[in-house]
């Protein structure tokens, strides 16, 4: 027998203080404005995600062969702005994405990018070519991040373990 995921359901309800989110009347305005849904209507639908999340049907969302139906969200926040009930959909999706991470279902591309942040302090490290172009355009240098400090913070939150990050081995001289 299928049992709803009450943990996810409770987290979503608590997030909106048990009120606003109950008033999602499935008007579909979030889906209408979503650029991802416009491009991939068969694979991505925020209105359905909210409904399934609220009902605790996370098994329908978190499927190994359907990662796009959650991770397709680009967090542009357009849906958050248009929802007539002030439901912050992206907060709901964060709960679901965290659950997806815990279950080892997050897409590899996101894990790689998270490891890049651990290693370099940046999701997309600045390339020399871009630095030269910025210089030519008279744009200021981007300061290098304090990687050790960033790693310290991320480790304190357990981020490294969540993404399975391993320290690079010291090269033998």
Cα 46 from Cα 36, distance rounded (Å): 9
Q: How far apart are CA 59 and CA 48, in angstroms?
A: 13
Q: Do 93 and 49 form a contact (C-beta atoms < 8 A)? A: yes
CB nearer ligand SF4, residue 96 or residue 154: 96
Task: Considering the complex, state which of residue 74 and residue 146 has its C-beta at the smaller distance from ligand SF4.
Answer: 74
Is residue 29 at the binding interface for ligand SF4, with CB under 6 A as the rule? yes
Residue 85 binding ligand SF4, by CB under 6 A: yes
36 binds ligand SF4 (CB under 6 A): yes
* Contact residues for 31 (Cβ-Cβ < 8 A; gap 6+): 37, 45, 46, 47, 48, 79
Residue identified by tokens 């009450």 is 6
Stretch that binds ligand SF4, among 11-19, 46-54, 147-155, 162-170 (CB under 6 A): 46-54
Answer yes or no whether residue 50 interacts with ligand SF4 by CB under 6 A.
yes
Instruction: Give the footprint of ligand SF4 on this chain (CB under 6 A).
Output: 24-30, 33-34, 36, 46-47, 50, 73-79, 83-85, 87, 89-90
């Amino acid at each position: 027998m299928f049992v709803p995921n009450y943990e996810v359901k409770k987290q979503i309800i608590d997030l909106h203080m048990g009120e606003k989110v109950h008033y999602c009347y499935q008007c579909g305005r979030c889906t209408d404005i979503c650029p991802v849904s416009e491009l991939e209507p068969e694979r991505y639908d925020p209105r359905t995600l909210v409904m399934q999340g609220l009902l605790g049907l996370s098994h329908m969302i978190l499927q190994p062969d359907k990662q796009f139906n959650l991770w397709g969200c680009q967090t542009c926040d357009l849906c958050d702005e248009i929802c007539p009930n002030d439901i912050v959909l992206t907060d709901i999706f964060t709960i679901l994405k965290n659950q997806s991470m815990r279950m080892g279902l997050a897409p590899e591309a996101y894990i790689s990018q998270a490891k890049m942040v651990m290693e370099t302090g940046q999701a997309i490290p600045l390339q020399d070519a871009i630095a030269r172009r910025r210089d030519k355009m008279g744009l200021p240098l981007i300061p290098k991040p304090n990687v050790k400090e960033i790693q310290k913070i991320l480790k304190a939150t357990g981020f490294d373990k969540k993404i399975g990050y391993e320290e690079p081995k010291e090269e033998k001289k």
